[in-house]
């Protein structure tokens, strides 16, 4: 029994990890793009971007999963995701990337705007190009500022992966819960909790280590 | 020929006319001090001269070559502005050192980036960088910080930070070095070390423009003094003239508030 449960939980955890990894991989660059969009001088870009960010951050991720997955099929009569397991997984990842990118973008924007104007100007009077100023002056200060809040989002993301079950992507909690019905046991659910604790504990250590690495300067 | 010639420089922010026509010129090796009440436009003037703001009127020429002319309709490109800036250096009131770099790295950054775009990568560049480091370390030595090369800004006092900022500006060998109230952000006991560095530069005939509230210092080191009030030069002359025998009532009032 124990073996069966562990195998099942491992499978579920692997799904969760995939969603976690892909969300970071896609969400961080997309978040930067959205951040620049929301800071654009060009109103026609800034306004829609800010509206989208507001909508995404103002509604539950679970609702977004349902709408993104079922919406195209019902509204357009064309289920772009396909009905398969893979299709549901893709829909989940796309939703997560988009949702987290919006949260990240706000953090990036705060981080970029938080760098004092004088830093940029000091670079300008030294004859640096805008690209040099971004990469050699601003970026490191932005990174230092955003590591703690991004860390919080990342820890939240670990736990948010459990939401994908609403569109039947079988992550770890679903895999634990099924043993209640099939075998009348609840300890697998407690075990899922351990997986989360271990993984978020590991991430917390990693994030703490990064923060410490950045301690050599103050902003 | 004048090294720097500023003619009828104007700057408005929307409706607000901050500079209403500033003209002055200075020779190589000259030291010009700018004094005046808060809000008079001193900082705006320095920012315009360093192209951090684009003037709305007037012209700026260096060594007889016009860098900027507002009446010349062609818009200046980003690239051109960047090249123009290299004639000048600016030391900010609040230093604006890059916090993630050591004192030496702060001073060397711009030179290394220049070398990178010229020399590319590889062994040659390594050698160039080593030379830049040596040169910048020497500069830091000249401002009395030879033993602080590897200190980060937060490990330095305000006076030391400002001296690093001066070295950073000097590294690019500007033709004119501008200071915007270089000691205003410092505790009184730290102003002396910065003023001493500036005085030494004056003795070495560095061409400098210094916005300052240190009247005694301005009187002692400058060759020419501008009193700017309400976006205009209200008084202009040698330190003796401006400080000992001011012509305008406004100048007398202002100087009176410092006695
Ligand atoms: N970017 C800006 N937008 C609008 N107004 C500005 C801007 N920069 C400066 N001003 C205004 O221009 C005027 C002159 O400011 P400036 O900073 O040049 O004065 P200052 O002589 O340097 O004063 P202080 O001695 O206090 O440093 C002020 O009224 C200020 O509010
Ligand atoms: Mg000022």
Question: Concatenated DSSP letters for B171-201?
Answer: HT--SEEEEESTTTTS-HHHHHHHHHHHHHH
Strands B224-229 and B232-237: antiparallel
A5: in domain: no
pLDDT digits (tens, 9 = 90+) for A8-50: 999 999 999 999 999 999 999 999 999 999 999 999 999 999 9
Residue A189 lies in a domain: no
Backbone dihedral angles phi then psi of residue B4, each to the nearest 5 degrees: -125, 130
Give yes or no for A77 touching B (CB within 8 A): no
User: Which residues does A180 contact at the CB level (< 8 Å), separation at least 6?
Assistant: A186, A189
Looking at residue B73, what is its pLDDT?
60
pLDDT in tens, A157-191: 999 999 999 998 999 999 999 999 998 899 999 99
For residues A14 and A144, give the distance between their C-alpha atoms in angstroms, rounded to a whole number. Answer: 31
Q: Which ligand is nearest to the CA of B180?
A: 2
Whole-number pLDDT of residue A83: 76
pLDDT at B75: 66
Residues in chain B, how many? 259
Inside any domain, residue A181: no
User: In chain B, which residue ranges form alpha helices assigned H by DSSP?
Assistant: 42-49, 78-85, 103-119, 123-142, 158-171, 188-203, 215-221, 239, 249-256
- By residue range, what is the domain housing residue A88? 15-169
Sequence-distant (6+) residues with CB within 8 A of A168 are A88
Mean pLDDT of A132-144: 96
Of A39-48, B114-123, B140-149, which gets the smallest average pLDDT? B114-123
Question: Which has the closest alpha carbon to B3: B223, B236, B227, B234?
Answer: B223
Residue A28 in domain: yes
The answer to whether residue A62 is domain-embedded is: yes
- Region B83-97: what's the mean pLDDT? 95
Q: How confident is the model at residue A84 (pLDDT cuts 50, 70, 90)?
A: confident
Q: What are phi and psi of B34, to 5 degrees?
A: -120, 125
**Which protein residues touch ligand 1 with a CB less than 6 Å away?**
B 13, 16, 18, 36, 38-44
Ligand 1, atom 27: closest residue by C-alpha: B38
Q: Is the pLDDT of residue A77 over 90?
A: no
Residue A6 within any structural domain of the chain: no
Domain assignment present for residue A75? The answer is yes
Domains held by chain A: number: 1
**Is there a contact between B78 and A130 if contact means CB atoms under 8 Å apart?**
yes
Strand partners, B88: B176
Best residue in A115, A117, A122 for a mutation probing chain B (most B CBs within 10 Å): A122
% of residues, chain A, pLDDT over 90: 86
For position A40, what pLDDT does the model report?
93
CATH number, residue A63: 1.10.3720.10
Residue of A nearest to B114 (CA): A128
Q: DSSP state, B155? A: G
**Given the structure tokens 């060397």, which residue do they identify?**
B108
| Residue in B51, B83, B96, B167 to test binding to A, most A beta-carbons within 10 Å | B96
User: What CA–CA distance (Å, rounded) separates A193 from A205?
Assistant: 18
Please list, in sequence order, all residues whose beta carbon lies within 8 angstroms of the beta carbon of residue A82, skipping any fewer than 6 positions away. Answer: none
pLDDT higher than threshold 80 for residue B118: no
Q: What pTM did the predictor assign? A: 0.89
Determine the distance separating the centroid of ligand 2 and the alpha carbon of B161, expressed in angstroms.
Answer: 19
Residue A182 lies in a domain: no
| Dist. CA B153–CA A217, nearest whole Å | 8
């Amino acid at each position: 029994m124990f073996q069966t449960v562990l195998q099942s939980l491992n499978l579920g955890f692997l799904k969760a990890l995939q969603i976690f990894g892909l969300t970071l991989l896609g969400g961080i660059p997309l978040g930067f793009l959205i951040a620049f969009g929301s800071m654009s001088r060009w109103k026609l870009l800034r306004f829609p971007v800010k509206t989208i960010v507001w909508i995404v951050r103002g509604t539950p991720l679970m609702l977004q999963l349902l709408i993104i997955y079922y919406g195209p099929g019902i509204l357009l009569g064309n289920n772009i995701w396909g009905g398969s397991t893979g299709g549901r997984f893709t829909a989940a990842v796309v939703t997560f990337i988009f949702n987290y990118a919006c949260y990240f973008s706000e953090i990036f924007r705060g981080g970029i705007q938080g760098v004092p104007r004088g830093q940029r100007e000091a670079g300008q009077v030294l004859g640096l190009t805008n690209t040099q100023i971004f990469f050699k002056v601003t970026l490191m200060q932005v990174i230092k500022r955003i590591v703690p809040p991004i860390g919080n989002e990342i820890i939240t993301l670990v736990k948010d992966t459990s939401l994908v079950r609403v569109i039947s992507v079988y992550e770890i909690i679903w895999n634990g819960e099924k043993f209640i019905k099939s075998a009348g046991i609840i300890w697998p659910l407690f075990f899922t909790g351990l997986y989360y604790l271990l993984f978020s504990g590991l991430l917390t250590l990693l994030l703490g280590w990064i923060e410490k690495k950045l301690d050599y300067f103050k902003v | 020929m004048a090294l720097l010639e500023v003619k009828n420089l104007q700057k408005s922010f929307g409706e607000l006319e901050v500079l209403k026509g500033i003209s002055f010129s200075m020779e190589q090796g000259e030291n010009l001090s700018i004094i005046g009440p808060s809000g008079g436009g001193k900082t705006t003037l320095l920012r315009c001269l360093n192209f951090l703001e684009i003037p709305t009127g007037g012209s700026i020429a260096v060594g007889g070559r016009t860098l900027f002319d507002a009446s010349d309709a062609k818009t200046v490109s980003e690239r051109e502005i960047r090249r123009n800036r290299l004639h000048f250096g600016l030391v900010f009131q609040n230093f604006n050192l890059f916090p993630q770099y050591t004192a030496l790295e702060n001073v060397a950054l711009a030179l290394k980036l220049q070398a990178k775009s010229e020399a590319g990568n590889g062994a040659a560049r390594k050698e160039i960088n080593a030379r830049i480091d040596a040169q910048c370390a020497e500069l830091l030595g000249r401002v009395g910080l030879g033993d602080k090369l590897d200190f980060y800004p937060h490990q330095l006092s305000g006076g030391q930070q400002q001296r690093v900022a001066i070295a950073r500006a000097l590294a690019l060998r500007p033709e004119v070095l501008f200071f915007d109230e270089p000691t205003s952000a410092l505790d009184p006991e730290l102003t002396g070390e910065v003023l001493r560095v500036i005085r030494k530069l004056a003795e070495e005939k560095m061409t400098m423009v210094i916005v300052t509230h240190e009247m005694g210092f301005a009187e002692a080191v400058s060759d020419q003094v501008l009193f700017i009030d309400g976006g205009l030069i209200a008084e202009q002359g040698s330190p003796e003239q401006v400080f000992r025998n001011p012509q305008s009532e406004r100048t007398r009032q202002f100087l009176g508030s410092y006695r």
